[in-house]
Structure 1
Amino acid sequence: MRISVLGAGGWGTTLAILLHLNGHEVTLWEYKKSYAKILNRHRENKIYLPGIKIPKEISITHDLETASFNKHMLVIAIPSQFVRNVLKEIKKFDYKNTTFVSVAKGIEKKSLMTISQVIKDEIKDIQSPAIGVLSGPSHAEEVSRKIPTAVVAASTDISTAKQIQATFMTSYFRVYSSTDILGVEYGGALKNVIAIGAGIVDGAKFGDNTKAAIMTRGIAEISRLGIYLGARPETFSGLSGMGDLIVTCMSRHSRNRYVGEQIGKGKKLKDILKSMNMVAEGVETSKAVHQLSKEHEVETPICSAVYQILFEERDPIKVTYELMTRDMKSED
């Protein structure tokens, strides 16, 4: 297949290499012209994926039309808040026989849409079977080194989900299929907010008990909101739900956990983000979750606490105390 990966961050670069090793003709698109030249010259993504060589057969370009024209599949590995602007350009080209696969894990903060919904909204004549997502517990730092990993490919059309599954499946990258595209997307996006909370626990040195509580009650919040928005309950106990939550809350590779950890240590959000090369999707997603929860009157106390700490600069210790002393509840 002729496949373009849009976005040359760590994950986009990793997937481009994986797809090349699977025998596909791969193009990697980098939005900065100067960095595209650096990638071509060194064949290594030294900022986002150091130590991993990019095979010479992978074409690297800054030109979006070159990357998008006459491709069987476009893999969208762009931070979620920038996806719509790229789609506005892509829809000028011929995409009639192209499958769009989102690997972004976020919710657009203005529209409150998942990325599959953004694709459908921006490219009006695209059919739902031409849209899919790939998500799950999968850090680029590990997949690029062929560490065994399992993820989920989802689409409203099972044949599309299975096409994506077959395209990405390798001996070290196991792909399951699903038709619950919203569940897979909400799991991948909302867990980033909980991971910031888990990082705050680490930074404030609360302990393992606290972190276990955050993760367990966090998946309850993710499920509650996701089900209300149209997802299936069982999806949140799978790889794109609980699986992704575990790895993002626990891993040293997690950007969202790192942001929370620095907040827990007393640093300011703007200073943390300024020091990072990569995007922590959970920061903007926390705004979207806060709005969704308010609009639909769905209780998400941990996500609300993260929002308050990030954007209202509330003290993590005081907010945690408030979480612990809420009215008594049943776990059901």
Structure 2
Amino acid sequence: MEKQTIAVLGPGSWGTALSQVLNDNGHQVRIWGNIEDQIDEINEKHTNTRYFKDIVLDEGIKGYKDLAEALDGVDAVLFVVPTKVTRLVAKQVAAILEHKVVVMHASKGLEPDTHERLSTILEEEIPAELRSEIVVVSGPSHAEETIVRDLTLISAASKDMEVATYVQEIFSNRYFRLYTNNDVIGVETAGALKNIIAVGAGALHGLGFGDNAKAAIIARGLTEITRLGVKMGANPLTYSGLSGVGDLIVTGTSSHSRNWRAGDALGRGEKLEDIEKNMGMVIEGISTTRAAYELAQELGVYMPITQAIYSVIYQGARIEDAIKTIMAGEFRQENEWS
């Protein structure tokens, strides 16, 4: 493929790691952010020490503070900003763009209040004449491992398989491989909802429970993620793939995961406000728990683990009591989907 010019919106850990992948593949990468010191550091020192203390970035990765400058003449735009500001940044992009681009996103969450998926937000805010069909880049991936070029396999999902293939080609290399998928709803809901289960898995660890409990919450968590996703129109097979069970395993079992670490701290008795302050990064599973709980209530979907985590985070329930509620719940068949 010819060299592409790509604007990466969001110099967080994942945005930085994906910028390096694209740069490794010979593309021109412009990484945009609104924290001046961080952009200056990327340009002058070629580091992003807020997220990666020992990593030196290639000098070809350029930081931009001005969004219009970052978007000028690009072939593609990759959104990697927190869920809660996706709509705001999309509005800004729509107001600046003067030509059609491929639009991708690699964030995981549901918008608070509206409960909308991120591709829906991008479709609403960026006029169709300025963009491709949205491509969702999602799957089992820790930025800390991708940045050191560890093997990573994820999905590129879009309603348009031609544009999904374009994204597959610009990203894939010897250590980073993408598989195309046409189930946007499934890939997005899997990526968003697994963060909730990761918080719960971390909490079990913090409380001192072992591998049996870990396996249980991952397996049953996947069941309720699938239950909600299918209700929203997803293909159930997506949840047995990279963006489903794959992402749930990597996020629900690793200390690299900020959602797992947040849950672990909750399990050890720390207060949520202290955890969020100490983390220094967005914990998407916290806001997604509320969105998923409300969506499940609205759609009539049975999600006991999500409900239990919601009760702890938003209703002040003790984690031990939430676990007792789940364990004392009604008996069900394992393959019930309603």
| TM-score normalised according to structure 1 size | 0.98
Counterpart in the other structure of 1:157: 160
Counterpart in the other structure of 1:303: 306
CA distance in 1, matches of 2:10, 2:105: 11
Counterpart in the other structure of 1:219: 222
Counterpart in the other structure of 1:74: 77
Instruction: From 305, 323, 326, give the equivalent of 2:326.
Output: 323
Deviations 1:199-250 (A, max 9, x none): 0100011221111111000000000000100111000000000000000011
Unaligned stretches of 5+ residues in structure 1: none
Q: Is the 8 A contact 1:98 1:130 kept in 2?
A: no
Work out whether 1:202 is the aligned partner of 2:223: no
C-alpha deviation, 1:95, in angstroms: 5.1
3-state SS in 1 of match to 2:233: coil
CA distance in 1, matches of 2:240, 2:158: 18
Instruction: From 201, 206, 230, give the equivalent of 2:233.
Output: 230
| TM-score normalised according to structure 2 size | 0.96
CA distance in 2, matches of 1:329, 1:95: 55
* Aligned amino acid, residue 110 of structure 2: I
Deviations 1:84-127 (A, max 9, x none): 11111111122542011110011101211111001011124358
Q: Is the 8 A contact 2:7 2:71 kept in 1?
A: yes
3-state SS in 2 of match to 1:51: coil
C-alpha deviation, 1:16, in angstroms: 0.7
C-alpha deviation, 1:35, in angstroms: 2.0
Instruction: From 145, 168, 182, give the equivalent of 1:179.
Output: 182
Counterpart in the other structure of 1:48: 51
3-state SS in 1 of match to 2:88: helix
CA distance in 2, matches of 1:267, 1:4: 38
Q: Is the 8 A contact 1:29 1:62 kept in 2?
A: yes
* Aligned amino acid, residue 16 of structure 1: S
Work out whether 1:145 is the aligned partner of 2:148: yes
CA distance in 1, matches of 2:194, 2:132: 26
Counterpart in the other structure of 2:244: 241
Counterpart in the other structure of 1:99: 102
The alignment yields a C-alpha RMSD, in angstroms, of 1.2
* Aligned amino acid, residue 221 of structure 2: G
Work out whether 1:272 is the aligned partner of 2:275: yes
CA distance in 1, matches of 2:74, 2:233: 31
3-state SS in 2 of match to 1:97: coil
CA distance in 1, matches of 2:134, 2:22: 18
* Aligned amino acid, residue 157 of structure 1: D
Matches within 5 A, 1:84-95: 84-94=87-97
Work out whether 1:284 is the aligned partner of 2:287: yes
* Aligned amino acid, residue 203 of structure 1: G
Instruction: From 35, 38, 63, give the equivalent of 1:60.
Output: 63
Deviations 1:13-52 (A, max 9, x none): 1111110110111101121123211222221010112211
Q: Is the 8 A contact 2:103 2:132 kept in 1?
A: no
Change in 2 beyond 3 A, CA 1:277/1:186: same
Unaligned stretches of 5+ residues in structure 2: none
* Aligned amino acid, residue 146 of structure 1: R
Identity %: 39
Q: Is the 8 A contact 1:128 1:157 kept in 2?
A: no
Counterpart in the other structure of 1:24: 27
Q: Is the 8 A contact 2:255 2:261 kept in 1?
A: yes
CA distance in 2, matches of 1:123, 1:23: 28
C-alpha deviation, 1:157, in angstroms: 0.7
* Aligned amino acid, residue 2 of structure 1: T
C-alpha deviation, 1:128, in angstroms: 7.8
CA distance in 2, matches of 1:115, 1:50: 30
3-state SS in 2 of match to 1:295: helix
Q: Is the 8 A contact 1:154 1:179 kept in 2?
A: yes
CA distance in 2, matches of 1:58, 1:209: 44
Moved more, 190-199 or 312-321: 312-321
